[in-house]
Amino acid sequence: MNGASGSSAEILGLIRSGTASTRAELIAKTGLSRSTMAQRLSELFEANLIVGGGETPSTGGRPATRLAFNDAAGVVVAAALGVTGNRVAVVDLSGRILAEHEEAHSIADGPTVTLERIAGRAEDLLSEAKIDRGEVWGFGVGLPGPVEFAAGRPISPPIMPGWDGFPVADWLQEHFDCAALVDNDVNVMALGEREQYFAAEDQFIFVKLSTGVGAGLILNGELQRGDQGSAGDIGHIYVPGHDVVCECGNVGCLEAIIGGRALARRLRAEGLPTSSSRDVLERVLAGDTAAVLAVRDAGRELGLVIAGLVNSLNPAVVVLGGIFAGAGDHLLAGVREAVYRRSPPLATRHLRIVASAAGPRAGVVGAAAIITGHVLGERGGQ
């Protein structure tokens, strides 16, 4: 993971991004000597990370071998855990999903039960896809709460009872016998959505509205985790005018007002039996007026908080994801209304506010990307 210049990781990055694909181009880009370059490339060939991908069109003289990243050098297992469900997938090094499975769960079952279930599902998917365990580069996981990324464990997660401080990455490393990285679910969703659909955008905000509410911030092209790993934790921003008590122990938090539980409670109070975020969404999709109104109101409150982010961070793109992104225009309309009303023209003139295109797959694609990036950095070596 060392960013030192001319490292194998840097060379691999140049090849993977298509910035340079011949020895001559790589030498020109890095300033390395011919002999150092030969040594680094030979290591990358030995690690099976690059392949000689054909010859470049001849310009006279000996044709140069074109080098390419080997997408098939391995696979990554990825899991996106929400409060009420999870998705596990086997993903190749370019982010393509080779096999996947989704199921309902309760995060309150605690870490051991949940992780055993996830690990078992991963085994099944590998068998199903006929992939040998030796090909697995690592296990990437997204969790619905703040995560200390370096230590790989949740920290004081408000809606994950029993998980506080549990060494998730260590557990997976031990029980699944491969590298494991854990990050906040919205961070991995942001990485996945951007990698697949907005690779050129360096100022990118992903906002999740499900049972929990959170944001993943990619600024100057980098995922922001903050000083303690809690960057993007917008679910507990104060929304004036409400006295709802939040599970975090505070009053008037955004999540307590517009999270899936709050919306279900609102519909129940109106006589509509609704117990989960999914129930709320189904009512919206069925055209139930009370549910549509609830989601639109939620969009307005969310929009005021997003307007604060737009004013502060001036993103180019805001993507709305999570379960309620499935409500499409009903949610978008409320958010856009608030943002265009409350953010200055300079911050909104080129701003796009859209629903997630990756949808429920954003999490696993992003969880895979953190492993791929990490292992490429490591195997690329110094």
Residue 30 contacts a copy of itself per CB under 8 A: yes
Which CB, 64 or 155, lies closer to a copy of itself? 155
Q: Are 79 and 111 in contact (CB under 8 A)?
A: no
Task: Give me the phi and psi of 309, to 5 degrees please.
Answer: -70, -40
Neighbouring residues of 184: CB distance < 8 A, sequence distance ≥ 6: 142, 143, 144, 145, 146, 147, 214, 216, 229, 232
* Residue 10 binds a copy of itself (CB under 8 A): yes
Number of chain positions touching a copy of itself (CB under 8 A): 59
Beta carbon of residue 298, minimum distance to a copy of itself (angstroms, whole number) = 17
Among the residue ranges 59-67, 106-114, 132-140, 312-320, the one whose residues contact a copy of itself (CB under 8 A): 312-320
Q: Report the nearest approach of a copy of itself to the CB of residue 151 (Å).
A: 13
Does residue 92 interact with a copy of itself by CB under 8 A? Answer: no
Stretch that binds a copy of itself, among 53-61, 123-131, 305-313, 321-329 (CB under 8 A): 305-313
17 binds a copy of itself (CB under 8 A): no
CB of 143 to a copy of itself, least distance (A): 14
Largest CA distance in the chain: 80
Cα 296 to the center of its chain, rounded Å: 25
Nearer to a copy of itself, 136 or 351 (CB): 351
Alpha carbons 24 and 193: distance in angstroms, whole number: 34
Between residues 3 and 134, which has the closer beta carbon with respect to a copy of itself?
A: 3
**Are the C-beta atoms of 16 and 71 separated by less than 8 Å?**
no
Member of 226, 268, 269, 270 binding a copy of itself (CB under 8 A): 226
Amino acid at 207: V
100 versus 255: smaller Cβ distance to a copy of itself: 255
Residue 22 binds a copy of itself, judged by CB under 8 A: no
Question: Which two structure tokens, joined as six digits, stand for 5?
Answer: 């210049």
Q: Which of 36, 94, 106, 127 binds a copy of itself (CB under 8 A)?
A: 36
| Contact (CB, 8 A) for 204 and 194 | yes
Give yes or no for residue 308 binding a copy of itself (CB under 8 A).
Answer: yes
Residues 6+ apart with CB under 8 A from 62: none
At its nearest, how many Å lie between a copy of itself and the CB of residue 301? 11
- Verify binding: residue 220, a copy of itself, rule CB under 8 A: yes
Q: Distance of CA 124 to CAs 44, 61, 119, 128, 369, Å?
A: 31, 52, 9, 6, 21
CA 104 to chain centre: 20
C-alpha 71/C-alpha 371 separation (Å) is: 14
Footprint of a copy of itself on this chain (CB under 8 A)? Answer: 4-7, 10, 29-33, 36, 146, 155-156, 158, 203, 215, 217, 219-220, 222, 224-234, 236-238, 240-241, 248, 250, 304-305, 307-309, 311-316, 342-347, 349-351
